[in-house]
């Protein structure tokens, strides 16, 4: 599924994210968490929070695995990556988001906090935790610090 973890999509304090492919050819993002005790708590919290939540602006959790100190989360793949690469870069003007797109993203993210049941407090909203699907619709990721 992960092609031996050859294609790394990103990394952070939690561990690393790799591109993978399911047997039906669907692309996924596989988050492998580190071995620290704090990542164990974040893993449990992320599975519990996202497992109870279905929302158009939340990256879908497709599955998870926990075996001793190895923990992994399998998410839908977001082909356009994070908002960070579009707003915090030196890309030419034509390759950046327009003001309208940034506004639409902000409204989509704000809707998560007001239109979601149960209500979620994310606590770590930042450009690299806002991902974009094929149509550049915003999707929130990294719910390790979130609280319902």
91 is in an annotated binding site: no
Residue 86: other Cβ atoms inside 10 A: 20
Strands (DSSP E) contained in 2-145 are: 8-12, 15-21, 27-33, 61-67, 70-76, 130-132, 138-140
For residues 18 and 38, the answer to whether their CB atoms sit within 8 Å is no
Taking the C-alpha atoms of residue 72 and residue 76, their distance in angstroms, rounded to an integer, is 13
104 part of the active site: no
Catalytic residue among 104, 124, 128, 133: 124
Taking the C-alpha atoms of residue 111 and residue 94, their distance in angstroms, rounded to an integer, is 28
What are the catalytic residues? Answer: 124
State the binding site: 31
State the binding site for ATP: 31
């Amino acid at each position: 599924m992960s092609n031996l973890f050859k294609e790394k999509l990103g990394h952070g304090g939690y561990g690393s994210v790799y591109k993978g492919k399911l047997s039906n050819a669907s692309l996924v993002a596989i988050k492998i968490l580190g071995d620290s005790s704090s990542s164990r708590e974040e893993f449990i919290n992320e599975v519990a929070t996202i497992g109870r939540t279905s929302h158009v602006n939340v990256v879908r959790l497709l599955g998870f695995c926990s075996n001793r100190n190895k923990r992994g989360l399998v998410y839908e793949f977001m082909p356009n990556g994070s908002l960070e690469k579009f707003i915090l870069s030196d890309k030419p003007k034509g390759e950046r988001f327009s003001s309208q797109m940034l506004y639409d993203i902000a409204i989509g993210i704000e809707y998560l906090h007001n239109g979601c049941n149960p209500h979620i407090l994310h606590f770590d909203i930042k450009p690299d935790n806002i991902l974009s699907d094929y149509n550049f619709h915003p999707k929130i990721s990294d719910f390790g610090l979130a609280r319902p």
